[in-house]
Amino acid sequence: MSNERGQVVKAMVVIQRPRDGALLVSEHADPARPFHRPLGGHVEFGEYAEDALRRELLEEIGQGLSDVRLLGVLENIFEWERAQAHEVVFVFAASFLDASAYEIAEQRILDHAEDDGTRVRWRDASAVNPPLYPNGVADLVQGLAQQRAV
């Protein structure tokens, strides 16, 4: 038995709330290792990353996206559940099609079969804990904020 999970390609989206810059994240409730991630998921074979992103947001929170643009591509090798994982992540910035979606405080991810404790919430723009993954996404968010300030 191999101690590797394999390589996966993911697409994630940075969505910031216009009024305060808060970042939309999924909050993982593992008490041993809590963390936040932008929403998104696996890119299926034969699927473009942006198409996967749009599909995932509809599945996860029932929301459409506009103004989708690529921020960067990250690569991470890490340990998860006692196995080595390797992910390549296309990170996009986008806005909600429906402006009322920015007012949702917290919700469960719709496509999870059971309630595993994962929630979608707004993370304060200055937060450093819990950690934000994948590694490097905080730098992309900071670069986006600097672009908007110019």
For residue 8, is pLDDT > 60? Answer: yes
Residue 44 corresponds to which tokens in the numbers above? 């299926």
Nearest C-alpha neighbor of 10 from the set 91, 84, 67: 91
Given this model, what pLDDT does residue 45 score? 94
Domain ranges, ordered by start, for the chain: 4-149
pLDDT in tens, 17-36: 999 999 999 988 666 788 99
How would residue 114 be classed by pLDDT, with cut points 50, 70 and 90?
low
For residue 68, is pLDDT > 50? Answer: yes
Nearest C-alpha neighbor of 24 from the set 75, 96, 88: 96
Task: Give the least confident one: 3-7, 49-53, 91-95, 127-131.
Answer: 3-7
Q: Who has greater pLDDT, 108 or 9? A: 9
Query: Hunting for tokens 């910035």 — which residue is that?
Result: 93
Residue 22 corresponds to which tokens in the numbers above? 């808060």
Given this model, what pLDDT does residue 1 score? 41
Given this model, what pLDDT does residue 142 score? 85
Domain 4-149 has CATH 3.90.79.10: yes
Q: At 120, is the secondary structure helix, strand, or coil? A: strand
Residue 29: Cβ-neighbour burial (10 angstroms; 0-12, 13-18, 19+): exposed
How would residue 143 be classed by pLDDT, with cut points 50, 70 and 90?
confident
Q: Who has greater pLDDT, 46 or 78? A: 46
Q: What is the residue-averaged pLDDT of the chain? A: 88
For residue 57, is pLDDT > 90? Answer: yes
